[in-house]
Amino acid sequence: MAAERDAEGFTAARPLLTDLYQATMALGYWRAGRARDAAEFELFFRRCPFGGGFALAAGLRDCVRFLRAFRLQDADVQFLASVLPPDTDPAFFEHLRALDCSGVTVRALPEGSLAFPGVPLLQVSGPLLLVQLLETPLLCLVSYASLVATNAARLRLIAGPDKRLLEMGLRRAQGPDGGLTASTYSYLGGFDSSSNTLAGQLRGVPVAGTLAHSFVTSFLGSEVPPDPMLAPAAGEGPRVDLTVSVKLWLERVCAHLGLEVQEPHPGERAAFVAYALAFPQAFQGLLDSYSVRRSGLPNFLAVALALGELGYRAVGVRLDSGDLLQQSKEIRGVFRTTAAQFQVPWLESLSIAVSNNIDEEELARLAQEGSEVNLIGIGTSLVTCPQQPSLGCVYKLVSVGGQPRMKLTEDPEKQTLPGSKAAFRLLGSDGSLLLDLLQLAEEPPPQAGQELRVWPRGAQEPCTVKPAQVEPLLRLWLQEGQLCEQLPSLAECRAFVQRSLSCLSPAHRRLQSPELYQVALSEKLQALVDSLSAGGSP
């Protein structure tokens, strides 16, 4: 099976991105003559992250790409030979060299689906040795992607639909792969853009960014632009010396604000002029390198008004320190009075962007009613997921040779659900989510309008439910290595996330102390669990 040859393919996991015990088990299966036994594993999580009531399934595209490209190279096999026992039969390594995923079938929740504990994110079936080897890389590709997408969705819910959210956590991310994953799946979860240009190149994530404090502080004010002349935006009329125009506007702005013309920092002004000459259509000022009120704001206004005379419209300003909410209100007030003073109404509505270690609590404050903040940049608290750094996904064997397998353990939470399964989402007549149902694959699917007896997880008694709608959850993406349907684009998955969240009740969607969403078992699956738990035969 040929691997996909495109730029994004370089970001896929490699077969040896795995734990050594996968290779030792592979040798054990091979020696026992069980390498080609038909097996099925399920990848799922046990608890929703961050104390919330939902998660988002993410990483499917990466998994499919990894599986379609899976092949151990000679160097991979040689390395495994160096860490396995020296008397290992060479025929085992020939078996490894021949492995690909042409016998692997994957069913999964579509990218961006609402996901709940115990419901498989992926079902992976194929030869036992091979699907065992896939455990660690698939967990690696799904767990963090789903976690950061869920974190981004929570932040989007706090911010509301109107605030623009920028992911800017690459410098804080856990390595380059973690940074690319965070940028990709924060966009899926609801962010508008990322500062990560590689995510733009490889994944199509919209990218955004302007300037840092280092750019501003690198100027002293004595610098002379090699070409300070700027033509009008319409392309007609004489070019204007922007530095001269800015100085004239600064005098008027300072008089309006009650400042001495010497107060605004000349280096900051020179930096703003340099940036405006480079980006006259997209000028944005970073206001807090020195003093927002006495320097950053008047310098920005002088440059923005000089550009305005030439028909250009500044984008806005950014704040990176201090009380962001209070400062944004003060800045909006200055924009309004300045717009009235100089009869430039466009100035009132310029964007105010903020950043500076923003977490859920601070985001809620910035998004409150009456806030003047338009764009919020979030880095560390998004990409590192400090409230819960791991989703805790697991990959468990549920069937071998068509026979169900169940893990029994001293910890009831770690018991697995046996057998090859189907999953359905039951909905009410208004489209609200009632519960997710797990049943054995051999059972007929539930029907809309038909009353069902089901066993909610953890309940001692069954209950009845009568769905108005039934949605199959697990779709067939790979069948014996072949792609069954085109994977949706990242932007399409992002839109799907928002539609899915809108169907979740406010009680399940709230971020603190949510009502737990029910996942239930069919009577036949519950009977199988009870039988195997008691030591019976499947």
| DSSP string of 10-53, one letter each residue | GGSPPTTSS-HHHHHHHHHHHHTT-TT-EEEEEEE-SS-GGG-S
Helix, strand counts (H, E) of the chain: 18, 23
In 3D space, the residue among 165, 162, 194 whose CA is nearest the CA of residue 179 turns out to be 194
CB burial of residue 450 (10 Å; 0-12, 13-18, 19+) = exposed
E strand segments, 168-275: 193-194, 229-230, 240-241
At 475, list the tokens.
């779709």
Report the 10 Å Cβ neighbour count for 320: 17
For residue 39, the cross-strand partners are 126, 400
- pLDDT of 319-349, one tens digit each? 999 999 999 999 999 999 999 999 999 999 9
Looking at residue 410, its pLDDT comes to 78
Residues with Cβ < 8 Å from 74, sequence gap 6 or more?
97
The list of the chain residues with pLDDT below 70 reads: 1-12, 536-538
Radius of gyration over alpha carbons of the chain, in Å? 29
Cβ-based neighbour number of residue 498 at 10 Å: 14
Judging by DSSP bridges, how do beta strands 114-115 and 55-56 pair with one another?
antiparallel
Q: Pull the structure tokens for residue 385.
A: 């997921």
Q: How far apart are CA 336 and CA 340, in angstroms?
A: 6
Residue matched to tokens 């932007």: 491
What is the C-alpha separation between 156 and 360, in angstroms, rounded? Answer: 10
Assign 296 to helix, strand or coil.
helix
Q: Half-sphere exposure of residue 482, counting CA atoms within 13 Å on the CB side?
A: 3
What φ, ψ does residue 455 adopt, rounded to 5°? -115, 100
- In this predicted structure, what is the pLDDT of residue 413? 81
In the numeric block, the tokens 């096999």 are attached to: 77
- What angle separates helix 324-342 from helix 297-309, to the nearest 10 degrees? 40
Residue 58: which of 419, 395, 488 has the closest Cα? 488
The pair of structure tokens assigned to 418 is: 């046996």
Residue 71: what pLDDT? 96
469, 474, 476, 480: CA torsion to nearest 10: -150
CB 461 within 8 A of CB 502: no
Beta strands, E only, 392-432: 394-400, 403-404, 421-427
Structural domains for the chain: 20-156+388-534 (3.20.140.10), 209-378 (3.20.20)
pLDDT at 458: 86
Question: Can you give the pLDDT at residue 11?
Answer: 53
- Measure Cα distances from 437 to 88, 107, 395, 434, 453 in Å: 45, 16, 20, 10, 11
Q: Is residue 310 within 8 Å of 233, Cβ to Cβ? A: yes
The rounded distance, in Å, linking the Cα atoms of 300 and 316 is: 9
Residue-level pLDDT at 305: 98
Residue 443 C-alpha from the chain's centroid: 35
Query: Is the CB of residue 181 less than 8 Å from the CB of residue 208?
Result: no
The span from the CA of 65 to the CA of 13, in Å, is: 9
Per residue in 439-467, pLDDT (tens digit) is 999 999 999 999 999 999 988 899 999 99
Tell me the C-alpha distance between 476 and 223, whole Å.
62
